[in-house]
């Protein structure tokens, strides 16, 4: 499972595409808390802010997110630090950029304060990812004053944030998460789920089910649900429970594919349509229904432990049941398979770093930042 901090750094760097200007000096835009902010880091943060602003800008007919001047003038509605903001694009970008470099400075400071170090694997990963991105877009980065070293520096900052999390809350950290905290997290914030999926999309053609086909598969799901409810023992780890799901998949998945019109589905592939797994908060977040609820957790929690429910996930109809995670494995088991520490602590820790960065003494150069102002952003070379 990708670590949140690393994913954040990769997302920011990959969003860059092309940014900034051809001017190579000044080398920094000043400092925050004694941490020098390289110009390249500032440009990365600024372009990410621009991308966010562009996606939330109220643009006039004929204007697009590629039109930098239009985005800077447009009204933008978005979230900064958990607060909804309505302002013009230039101000929105400026505020998001500042927040990003404050976070960068806070990570560098915390890393040094903790006496943390990076493992060889972490530094190698940052270098390899920087190489890959440079190979894909090096000409564009270079044309906009962004070096491969800048990409690597930013990715290393993300690795440092993860290291700080371990140094603070890991097993040997200053405030290690206890076994009881992990158990509470697993039972209250995660869901261990048995699931069987009947496809609503032909995976060979990527064609979605018509309304008639979807109705037929929905009826098929009701039959499958009844078989699972009557046949699968409560113990998800038992051989008999596995066999009931396996047999149901062998019977119902090919039928669903036949309804979809698939002519080349191999029945043996049905085994890939069922299984058991822990759904962590980051995974469950993708099933937000947009109305304050969650497609998966609402259905599972309403049914209770051991009760099968039918859930339409858009690309499939899932037959699911919630199982007590601590009856299926130990905290140690889950830590081996999932990054529970990041799931449990990274959001709060990230917010702490943002707050610490904002509270640091700012010695930023207006003239340097004006040199790298957002209006210089280029979309192509």
Comparison of pLDDT for 211 and 17, the residue scoring more: 211
Residues paired with residue 208 on neighbouring β-strands, in sequence order = 201
Q: Tell me, what's the pLDDT at 377?
A: 85
**Lowest-confidence range among 116-125, 227-236, 247-256?**
227-236
Residues 288, 353: one domain?
Answer: no
For the cut 50, the answer to whether the pLDDT of residue 300 exceeds it is yes
Residue 193 structure tokens: 């789920």
Which pLDDT band, with edges at 50, 70 and 90, does 140 fall under?
confident
Q: What is the pLDDT of residues 282-299, one digit of tens each?
A: 999 999 988 889 999 999
For the cut 60, the answer to whether the pLDDT of residue 29 exceeds it is yes
Q: Tell me, what's the pLDDT at 24?
A: 47
**Lowest-confidence range among 91-105, 138-152, 265-279, 345-359?**
138-152
Residues 116, 71: one domain?
Answer: yes
Residues 151, 257: one domain?
Answer: no
Question: Where do we find the tokens 């290291």?
Answer: 163
Q: Are 41 and 154 in contact (CB under 8 A)?
A: yes
Q: Does 333 fall in a domain?
A: no
For the cut 50, the answer to whether the pLDDT of residue 246 exceeds it is yes
Count of domains in the chain?
2
Residue 143 structure tokens: 């044309």
Which pLDDT band, with edges at 50, 70 and 90, does 369 fall under?
very high
Comparison of pLDDT for 8 and 267, the residue scoring more: 267
Query: How far is it, in rounded angstroms, from Cα 347 to Cα 108?
Result: 18
Q: Does 334 fall in a domain?
A: no
- Omega before 181 cis (within 30°)? no
Percent of the chain with pLDDT over 70: 91
Q: Tell me, what's the pLDDT at 1?
A: 46
Q: Does 261 fall in a domain?
A: yes
For the cut 60, the answer to whether the pLDDT of residue 5 exceeds it is no
Q: Tell me, what's the pLDDT at 33?
A: 97
- Out of 328, 351, 367, pick the residue that ends a domain: 328
Which pLDDT band, with edges at 50, 70 and 90, does 18 fall under?
very low
Residues 133, 100: one domain?
Answer: yes
| 205-to-12, 209, 233, 259, 261 alpha-carbon distances in Å | 33, 11, 36, 14, 10
Helical H segments across the chain, by residue range = 4-16, 39-55, 68-73, 89-114, 120-143, 148-169, 179-188, 211-231, 239-259, 281-284, 295-303, 325-328, 331-337, 340-359, 366-371
Residues 69, 168: one domain?
Answer: yes
Residues 135, 230: one domain?
Answer: no
Q: Does 185 fall in a domain?
A: no
Q: Does 335 fall in a domain?
A: no
What average pLDDT does the segment 328-346 reach? 91
Q: What is the pLDDT of residues 150-180, one digit of tens each?
A: 989 999 999 999 999 999 999 999 999 999 9
For the cut 90, the answer to whether the pLDDT of residue 264 exceeds it is no
Residues 361, 240: one domain?
Answer: no
3-state secondary structure of 305: strand
Q: Is 19 exposed, middle or buried (0-12, 13-18, 19+ CB in 10 A)?
A: buried
Residues 206, 318: one domain?
Answer: yes
Q: Are 323 and 233 in contact (CB under 8 A)?
A: no
Give the chain's mean pLDDT.
89
Which pLDDT band, with edges at 50, 70 and 90, does 8 fall under?
low
For the cut 50, the answer to whether the pLDDT of residue 23 exceeds it is no
Q: Does 197 fall in a domain?
A: yes
Question: Where do we find the tokens 């899932």?
Answer: 318
Domain of 97? 4-178+343-376
Q: Tell me, what's the pLDDT at 254?
A: 95
Whole-prediction pTM:
0.82
Which pLDDT band, with edges at 50, 70 and 90, does 86 fall under?
very high
For the cut 50, the answer to whether the pLDDT of residue 16 exceeds it is no
Q: Tell me, what's the pLDDT at 14?
A: 45
Q: Are 179 and 34 in contact (CB under 8 A)?
A: no
Residues 208, 270: one domain?
Answer: yes
Residues 248, 316: one domain?
Answer: yes
Q: Tell me, what's the pLDDT at 234?
A: 58
Comparison of pLDDT for 21 and 304, the residue scoring more: 304
The dihedral through the CA atoms of 117, 186, 344, 176 has a sign that is: negative
What average pLDDT does the segment 115-131 reach? 95
Beta-carbon contacts of residue 106 (< 8 Å; ≥ 6 apart): 33, 353, 354, 356, 357, 360
Q: Tell me, what's the pLDDT at 17?
A: 41
Residue 142 structure tokens: 């270079």
Q: Tell me, what's the pLDDT at 4?
A: 55
Residues 172, 61: one domain?
Answer: yes
Q: Does 183 fall in a domain?
A: no
Residues 165, 212: one domain?
Answer: no
Of the candidates 274, 296, 281, the one whose C-alpha atom is nearest the C-alpha of residue 194 is 274
Residues paired with residue 199 on neighbouring β-strands, in sequence order = 316
What average pLDDT does the segment 37-66 reach? 92
Residue 170 structure tokens: 């890991």
For the cut 90, the answer to whether the pLDDT of residue 329 exceeds it is no
Indicate the pairing of strand 362-364 with strand 28-32: antiparallel
Which pLDDT band, with edges at 50, 70 and 90, does 2 fall under?
very low
Comparison of pLDDT for 206 and 295, the residue scoring more: 295
Q: Does 22 fall in a domain?
A: yes
């Amino acid at each position: 499972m990708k670590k949140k901090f690393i994913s954040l750094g990769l997302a920011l760097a990959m969003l860059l595409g092309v940014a900034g200007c051809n001017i190579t000096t000044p080398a920094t835009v000043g400092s925050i808390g004694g941490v020098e902010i390289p110009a390249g880091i500032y440009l990365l943060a600024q372009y990410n802010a621009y991308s966010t602003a562009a996606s939330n800008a109220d643009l006039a007919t004929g204007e697009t997110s590629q039109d930098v001047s239009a985005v800077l003038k447009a009204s933008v509605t978005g979230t900064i630090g958990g607060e909804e903001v309505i302002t013009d694009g230039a101000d929105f970008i400026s505020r998001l950029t500042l927040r990003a470099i404050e976070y960068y400075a806070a990570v560098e400071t915390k890393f040094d304060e903790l006496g943390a170090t990076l493992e060889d694997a972490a530094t190698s990963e940052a270098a390899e990812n920087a190489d890959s991105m440079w190979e894909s877009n090096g000409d564009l980065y270079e044309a906009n004053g962004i070096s491969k070293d800048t990409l690597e520096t930013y990715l290393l900052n993300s690795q440092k944030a993860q290291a700080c999390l371990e140094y603070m809350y890991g097993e040997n950290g200053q405030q290690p998460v206890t076994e009881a905290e992990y158990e509470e997290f697993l039972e209250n914030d995660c869901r261990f789920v048995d699931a069987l999926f009947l496809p609503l999309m032909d995976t060979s053609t990527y064609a979605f089910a018509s309304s008639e086909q979807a109705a037929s598969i929905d009826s098929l799901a009701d039959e499958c649900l009844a078989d699972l409810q009557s046949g699968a023992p409560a113990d998800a780890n038992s051989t008999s429970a596995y066999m009931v799901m396996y047999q149901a998949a062998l019977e119902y998945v090919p039928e669903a594919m036949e309804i979809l019109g698939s002519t080349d589905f191999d029945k043996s592939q049905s085994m890939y349509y069922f299984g058991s797994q822990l759904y962590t908060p980051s995974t469950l977040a993708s099933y937000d229904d947009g109305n304050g609820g969650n497609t998966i957790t609402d259905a599972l929690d309403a049914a209770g432990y051991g009760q099968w429910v039918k859930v339409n996930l858009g690309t499939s109809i899932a037959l699911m049941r919630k199982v007590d995670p601590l009856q299926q494995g130990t905290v140690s088991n889950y830590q081996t398979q999932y990054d529970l520490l990041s799931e449990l602590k990274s959001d709060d820790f990230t917010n702490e770093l943002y707050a610490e960065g904002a509270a640091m003494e700012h010695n930023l150069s207006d003239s340097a930042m004006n040199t790298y102002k957002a209006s210089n952003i280029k979309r192509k070379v």
